[in-house]
A and B are shown apart, each in its own frame.
Chain A
Amino acid sequence: MLRYTFSRLQSLILSLVVASIVIFATVEIVPGDPASFMLGMNAQPDTIAALREQLGLDVPLWQRYLHWATGLLGGDFGTSYTYRTAIAEMIAERLWISLPLAIYALTLSTLIAFPAGILAATRRGSAADVSVMGFTQLGVAIPNFWFAMLMVLVFAINLRWFSAGGFPGWENPLLAMKALTLPAVALALPQASILARVMRSALLDTLSEDYVRTARAKGLTRRQTLWRHALRNALIPVLTIIGLQFSFLMAGAIIIENVFFLPGLGRLVFQAISQRDLIVVESVVMLLVFAVIIVNFAVDIAYAIVDPRLRGNR
């Protein structure tokens, strides 16, 4: 297990290094010179040169990369071209919304999907199964921003249980959670639908395995067989989906953030791209890549906890 973790850790670090080089290369090299971007078409060459020096763009590429990468390691993402503030601060502020929102949505999605998937699989063909399959079909089909607007109409405008958008900050955690509830539900619905379907089919597969029959022959009841033998074996595909969904929730909540006026990471990237604030884009993308890689690492470790065959040599 230790060896497995170590080998996963090795590939995690390697992926991070490769990703940082690729991101640095695409953003810094491809679109040309950020300094001339910032100063516009008619800038004087010596003004551009001065800005280049100020931004540290006049040193060789590899030095800039090293400077940037070591800065990242120390939590220094550089300074935004547009706002002239530390990017680390901007990101931290946004992260305090995006990360809790992603965790909130994922928790909801798991809490809905597990019971629904298990119910559908154990009572295959029953009314419960048919309705779970029907609802999840609907959940996959409905666009989440439309569902979000519908919820705003019902719960914010008509019932007035929630506010229609905005974020009050974390001074009062209860209020903050309340503000994140509708967005989290909107994000969780399609995710839960997919997850429930994956759970159901994975469980149906494991329930027809030989070792389930062995367990029944040992004297376990159907319920015991499900909890002790089938469920854990069905978790591998479910974990894969959860990992993918979490990465998606971190980066892909942009539409929902817009519907609810949440100042999250997605909106930050969106604004940065439209203002050509490349260093912000670079940093946020790097952060998201980092998140994806960390989540994949966590999923890999979870696989090994669930399935001893993946632990390799002992």
Chain B
Amino acid sequence: MSLLSISNLNLSIRQKPILRNVSLTVDAGQIVGIIGESGSGKSMTAYCVTQLLPEGLEPSGDIRFNGRDILQTSEADMCAIRGAEISMVFQEPMTALNPVHTIGQQVAETILIHEPETSKTAALERARDALNRVELHEDRFPLSRYPHEMSGGQRQRVVIAMAIALRPKLLIADEPTTALDVTTQAEILSLLTRLVREDGMGLMIITHDLAVVADMADHIHIMQKGQIVEHGPADRLFQTMQHPYSKALLAASSHVPEREQPQGETPLLEVRNVLRDYPLLRTKLFAKPESFRAVNDVSFTIRKGESLGLVGESGCGKSTLTRAILGLEEIQGGEILLSGEPVFTGKKPNRAVRRKMQVVFQDPYGSFNPRHRVDRLVTEPFHLLDSAPSDREDRIAEALRSVGLTPDDAFKYPHEFSGGQRQRIAIARALIIKPELIILDEAVSALDVSIRAQILDLLAELSETHGLTYLFISHDLSVVRSITDRVLVMQHGKIVEQGETQSVFDNPTDIYTQTLIAAAPRLPEDLRNF
């Protein structure tokens, strides 16, 4: 008998089906991957198993855990099961821990809740053991640490320690590494695998990234629109895949847009020996605050029509560098020139230069004012021009058409669009004043793989039709590899390696680059160019 068996699970929110006849099993010691894009119902399946659904939702079907009928179990009994027999790890480690309690208290709480007879000291000792098991050792991570004193990856380890403290039979991990850097992601995934093997736990891992589970899971289920469309053992599934959606998903994951090689050697953007310091918090009342060097002596050039990638992990200084290039902040040394002119002059951005570059940010939800209509949103860059263009309507229509939307969309509000469409609007906003350089700051990182593939195609196409130059900033190596000609690798505010994308990825010379590339999850080799 399986540890967890879900059969014919159905769930609707206001008559709209969210889950349709979902059936799957997880055995003890087995790693089951559930893959799907946002809205496919994969997280809802997990919440059904732990009965943590939003209030008022009643799933139907059958969920058996260890022989027990979960859907018929009372809330009080579910509280006894959650954390002790079924545990969960979530996506956002930065916010998953209570900021006002120490990590020791939070891990010990799992123990104290389920075994109230345990003394506080004994619970803290066991919390120590659990933290040791997730490789957070006493010397660097005493129990008295607070979450804000730790990085995202370390916090995720604390969440995992909380989840495994009572050695549960089933662990559900919902996008456990999506918010983490590649090297941290690799560490967390191998930690989870190790714990599964040690404890003989069942692991249900939910992700949108095929590559994450490809070499880790024993069995993979692919979900679309609330249904499991295909499933099979991980080692064979990729070869035997039949369903068009699974195939499309796989194709999209390793999608490489068709691009022409850039011509010409004219430099467009020149970054020379740039320094950017941030003042730290004042520690003494009248002393000058110390500073932190976020960008340290960075130099590079982007040629006209080129697509340059900038990769690095969070905190490496890539966002700071972006702001400096856009002239949003003053730099403390060096110079940044666009077509030979400085981007920042006399304590303020140089408008004449500023209008030649635009930016597209990561978050398609947060980067629009929700109360403005699309026509107002996309025409925002007009403030960089000396006078508003007379052909405003035509320009809006043209910009929207060039990103695959219709001119009528100008009269809608951002909430009426999906994430992918919003990112198209953001690109339209960047295009409207016909810039030469577009900076894409994690522009496709928040998108589902199939949408991401479409946006990448769109960018490739626009670069040809509009003669655009891209600076492509991302932590996602596979995306950078597919769309850039040259790549820069940044670490601790410095460029540690740069060169042709293909050669950097194939023969990285710097140790850090090697680590990054080795850590990036990948699909089985024979499927790479599917």
How far in angstroms is the closest Cβ of chain B from A226?
Answer: 12
CB <8 Å contact, A218 and B100: no
Task: Compute how far the CA of A309 lies from the CA of B159 in the bound complex, rounded to whole angstroms.
Answer: 19
Given A213-B52, A228-B109, A232-B100, is A308 in contact with B114 using a C-beta cutoff of 8 Å?
no
In the complex, B527 has a CB within 8 A of chain A? no
Given A217-B83, A219-B80, is A224 in contact with B113 using a C-beta cutoff of 8 Å?
yes
In the complex, B110 has a CB within 8 A of chain A? yes
In the complex, per-residue mask of A295-310: 1 if CB is within 8 Å of any chain B CB, else 0: 0000000000011110
- Count A/B pairs, Cβ under 8 Å: 80
A residues less than 8 Å from B76 (CB atoms): 221
In the complex, A205 has a CB within 8 A of chain B? no
In the complex, per-residue mask of A263-295: 1 if CB is within 8 Å of any chain B CB, else 0: 000000000000000000000000000000000
In the complex, A211 has a CB within 8 A of chain B? yes
CB <8 Å contact, A309 and B146: yes
CB <8 Å contact, A211 and B97: yes
In the complex, A158 has a CB within 8 A of chain B? no
In the complex, B90 has a CB within 8 A of chain A? yes
Of all chain B residues, the one with the shortest Cβ separation from A233 is B100
How far in angstroms is the closest Cβ of chain B from A292?
Answer: 21
Of all chain B residues, the one with the shortest Cβ separation from A308 is B146
B residues less than 8 Å from A211 (CB atoms): 95-99
Q: Which of A215, A224, A309 has the most CB of B within 10 A?
A: A215
How far in angstroms is the closest Cβ of chain B from A304?
Answer: 11
CB <8 Å contact, A219 and B84: yes
CB <8 Å contact, B99 and A218: no
In the complex, B82 has a CB within 8 A of chain A? yes
In the complex, B79 has a CB within 8 A of chain A? yes
In the complex, per-residue mask of B77-97: 1 if CB is within 8 Å of any chain A CB, else 0: 001111110011010100111
Q: Which of B82, B96, B98, B101 has the most CB of A within 10 A?
A: B98
Task: Compute how far the CA of A181 lies from the CA of B162 in the bound complex, rounded to whole angstroms.
Answer: 50
Task: Compute how far the CA of A233 lies from the CA of B87 in the bound complex, rounded to whole angstroms.
Answer: 24
Taking CB atoms and an 8 Å cut-off, the chain A residues in 182-216 that contact chain B are: 209-211, 213-216
How far in angstroms is the closest Cβ of chain B from A45?
Answer: 47
Given A10-B285, A228-B109, A308-B148, is A217 in contact with B97 using a C-beta cutoff of 8 Å?
no
In the complex, B50 has a CB within 8 A of chain A? yes
Q: Which of A215, A221, A233, A313 is within 8 Å of B99, CB to CB?
A: A233
CB <8 Å contact, B82 and A219: yes
Task: Compute how far the CA of A306 lies from the CA of B146 in the bound complex, rounded to whole angstroms.
Answer: 13
CB <8 Å contact, A217 and B88: yes
Task: Compute how far the CA of A213 lies from the CA of B83 in the bound complex, rounded to whole angstroms.
Answer: 12
In the complex, A229 has a CB within 8 A of chain B? yes
A residues less than 8 Å from B96 (CB atoms): 210-211, 213-214
CB <8 Å contact, B83 and A307: no
Of all chain B residues, the one with the shortest Cβ separation from A11 is B285
Of all chain A residues, the one with the shortest Cβ separation from B81 is A219
Given A233-B100, A307-B99, A309-B146, is A216 in contact with B90 using a C-beta cutoff of 8 Å?
no
B residues less than 8 Å from A308 (CB atoms): 99-100, 102, 146, 148
CB <8 Å contact, A217 and B50: yes
CB <8 Å contact, A213 and B90: yes
Task: Compute how far the CA of A217 lies from the CA of B101 in the bound complex, rounded to whole angstroms.
Answer: 17
CB <8 Å contact, B98 and A216: no
A residues less than 8 Å from B95 (CB atoms): 209-211
B interface residue count range (under 10 / 10 to 19 / 20 to 34 / 35 or more): 20 to 34
Task: Compute how far the CA of A220 lies from the CA of B99 in the bound complex, rounded to whole angstroms.
Answer: 17
Q: Which of B82, B100, B281 is within 8 Å of A217, CB to CB?
A: B82
How far in angstroms is the closest Cβ of chain B from A59?
Answer: 31
In the complex, A42 has a CB within 8 A of chain B? no
Of all chain A residues, the one with the shortest Cβ separation from B99 is A309
CB <8 Å contact, B100 and A307: yes
Task: Compute how far the CA of A210 lies from the CA of B110 in the bound complex, rounded to whole angstroms.
Answer: 16
How far in angstroms is the closest Cβ of chain A from B98?
Answer: 4
Of all chain B residues, the one with the shortest Cβ separation from A306 is B100
Q: Which of B82, B146, B285 is within 8 Å of A218, CB to CB?
A: B82
Task: Compute how far the CA of A7 lies from the CA of B283 in the bound complex, rounded to whole angstroms.
Answer: 9
How far in angstroms is the closest Cβ of chain A from B185?
Answer: 19
Given A308-B146, A308-B148, is A217 in contact with B87 using a C-beta cutoff of 8 Å?
yes
Taking CB atoms and an 8 Å cut-off, the chain A residues in 220-266 that contact chain B are: 220-221, 224, 228-229, 232-233
B residues less than 8 Å from A11 (CB atoms): 285
How far in angstroms is the closest Cβ of chain B from A114?
Answer: 18
A residues less than 8 Å from B97 (CB atoms): 211, 214
How far in angstroms is the closest Cβ of chain A from B442?
Answer: 21
CB <8 Å contact, A214 and B159: yes
Q: Which of B82, B114, B285 is within 8 Å of A7, CB to CB?
A: B285
Of all chain B residues, the one with the shortest Cβ separation from A212 is B98
Task: Compute how far the CA of A210 lies from the CA of B97 in the bound complex, rounded to whole angstroms.
Answer: 7
Task: Compute how far the CA of A214 lies from the CA of B172 in the bound complex, rounded to whole angstroms.
Answer: 12
Task: Compute how far the CA of A216 lies from the CA of B75 in the bound complex, rounded to whole angstroms.
Answer: 11
Task: Compute how far the CA of A296 lies from the CA of B145 in the bound complex, rounded to whole angstroms.
Answer: 28
In the complex, per-residue mask of B227-251: 1 if CB is within 8 Å of any chain A CB, else 0: 0000000000000000000000000
How far in angstroms is the closest Cβ of chain B from A238?
Answer: 14
Task: Compute how far the CA of A308 lies from the CA of B102 in the bound complex, rounded to whole angstroms.
Answer: 9
Of all chain A residues, the one with the shortest Cβ separation from B97 is A211
Task: Compute how far the CA of A217 lies from the CA of B168 in the bound complex, rounded to whole angstroms.
Answer: 12
CB <8 Å contact, B52 and A216: yes
CB <8 Å contact, B92 and A210: yes
Cβ contacts A to B, 20 pairs, < 8 Å? A7-B285, A209-B95, A211-B98, A213-B52, A214-B88, A214-B162, A216-B52, A217-B50, A217-B52, A217-B83, A218-B113, A219-B80, A219-B110, A220-B79, A229-B101, A232-B100, A233-B98, A308-B99, A308-B100, A309-B148
Name A residues whose Cβ lies closer than 8 Å to a Cβ of B. 7, 10-11, 14, 209-211, 213-221, 224, 228-229, 232-233, 306-309, 312-313
What would 13 more interface pairs be, CB under 8 Å, given A211-B98, A216-B52, A221-B76? A210-B96, A211-B95, A213-B96, A214-B90, A214-B98, A217-B50, A217-B88, A219-B80, A219-B114, A233-B98, A308-B102, A308-B146, A308-B148
